[in-house]
Amino acid sequence: MAEPHPDGAAPALDVTPDVAAAMEALLLGEEPTLTRVEVAERAGVPLDVAVVLWHQLGFPHRTDEDVAFGGSDVEALRLTADLVRIGVLSPESQAALVRTWGRSYARLAEWQTTLLAGLAVAGGDPAGGLTRLAGDVLPRVEALQSYVWRRHLASAAQHLLEDAGALTTSEARMSVCFIDIVGYTTQSRSLDGAELVQWVDRFEQDTTALVVDHGGQVIKTIGDEVLFTVAEPAAAVAIAMELTARGADDADPFPAVRAGVAHGAVVRRLGDVFGSTVNAASRLTSAARPGTVLVDAGVHEALAGDDEDARAEGSPWRWRRVRRVSAKGFTNLEAWRVKPPRDDD
């Protein structure tokens, strides 16, 4: 029996070609009977267009003679052509959107397969167990993914309708924050694979929960760093201050972190954010000392006004101006350190 890999990677499975073919047929709902040429012809889509789409989705390369497709591939190509025809997938956005789909689902599928493989190995019959698990689990996971997607669609639609400008432009004013683990490299060397995964998962889970509770959105996680956005700078600072406080508490397993927050114009595209505000937040995070939060002029002006160093009236925090941050692409990146109120405040 194959043993689970100690670092959490997918365990090695002794899978014969027949089992692999049966698994593919189970997951796709049919055995492959068509070549890519036949799929393109039946869908009414030029072969070169179909090949480009498959490449963008990250699917394996197939030759014109490989029988590797079925009716679901024909329907998928037809649906794609319909979206292009009605203008949902414009030539400008098609490539980027399809690549985003492909990367997102590839990562999700890899994680789910690893999870199923671990359970199959534990059952004593890896190949057969994986097939049985997939048949039992797949419909439930598929339904749950559809539910999660629709809930996020509803949330995104609500935010979009609340911001009238977002309907006509991809640019919006918002706060951007990076939360960065301090000493990640050193800590990762002292943990085995499973412990490191658990440590990072706790960081991502606790950070995401706090961001969502404040009406924000996690844009992406980059190993030891989380990037999130929120409409109001006060919410961004509150999140950053709470997380740095937790990281400074020896009794709290949350790791030590530092943060940088910037407020201003942000370009939104395919679930990601770009622009000088994002760059400023990143530079501030790099310049912040462990356990501290640095903010830019946009955040300071919104929350403290003309108050340079003390506690602004009505603000729950104190502000201390620090020397300008040296950052590539910025001639003058002003920064303030946010400090909690004194006990006698």
Identify which has the larger pLDDT, 150 or 96: 150
Would you state the pLDDT for residue 343?
52
Is 316 a residue whose pLDDT tops 70? yes
Identify which has the larger pLDDT, 196 or 176: 176
Q: How much of the chain exceeds pLDDT 90, in percent?
A: 39
Is 292 a residue whose pLDDT tops 50? yes
Would you state the pLDDT for residue 280?
94
Is 164 a residue whose pLDDT tops 60? no
Would you state the pLDDT for residue 264?
95
**H or E, element range at 175:** strand 171-181
Residue 157 falls in which region: left (phi positive, over 0), alpha (psi -120 to 50) or beta: alpha
**DSSP characters over 75-119:** HHHHHHHHHHHTTSS-HHHHHHHHHHHHHHHHHHHHHHHHHHHHH
Residue 7: pLDDT band (50, 70, 90) is very low
Q: Give the residue-averaged pLDDT of 339-345.
A: 68
Would you state the pLDDT for residue 3?
43
- Residues 37 and 49: beta-carbon distance below 8 Å: no
Read off the pLDDT of residues 192-246 as tens digits, 9 standing for 90 and up: 877 888 888 889 999 999 998 998 989 998 878 999 999 999 999 999 999 999 9
Would you state the pLDDT for residue 17?
64
Distance CA 316, CA 310 (A): 11
Residue 2: pLDDT band (50, 70, 90) is very low
Would you state the pLDDT for residue 99?
78
Distance CA 93, CA 323 (A): 42
Would you state the pLDDT for residue 285?
95
Identify which has the larger pLDDT, 330 or 63: 63
- For 140, other C-beta atoms within 10 Å of its C-beta total 9
Would you state the pLDDT for residue 279?
94
- Residues 53 and 166: beta-carbon distance below 8 Å: no
Distance CA 11, CA 42 (A): 39
User: What secondary structure letter does DSSP report for 342?
Assistant: P
Q: How much of the chain exceeds pLDDT 70, in percent?
A: 83
Read off the pLDDT of residues 72-108 as tens digits, 9 standing for 90 and up: 999 998 988 888 788 777 766 677 777 777 878 887 8
Would you state the pLDDT for residue 255?
92
Read off the pLDDT of residues 10-31 as tens digits, 9 standing for 90 and up: 455 555 666 667 767 777 778 8
Is 119 a residue whose pLDDT tops 80? no
Provide the token pair at 37. 């040429």
Average pLDDT for the chain = 82
Q: Give the residue-averaged pLDDT of 296-314.
A: 75
- The DSSP bridge partners found for residue 221 are 226
Q: What are phi and psi of 12, to 5 degrees?
A: -75, 130
Q: Give the residue-averaged pLDDT of 285-303.
A: 94
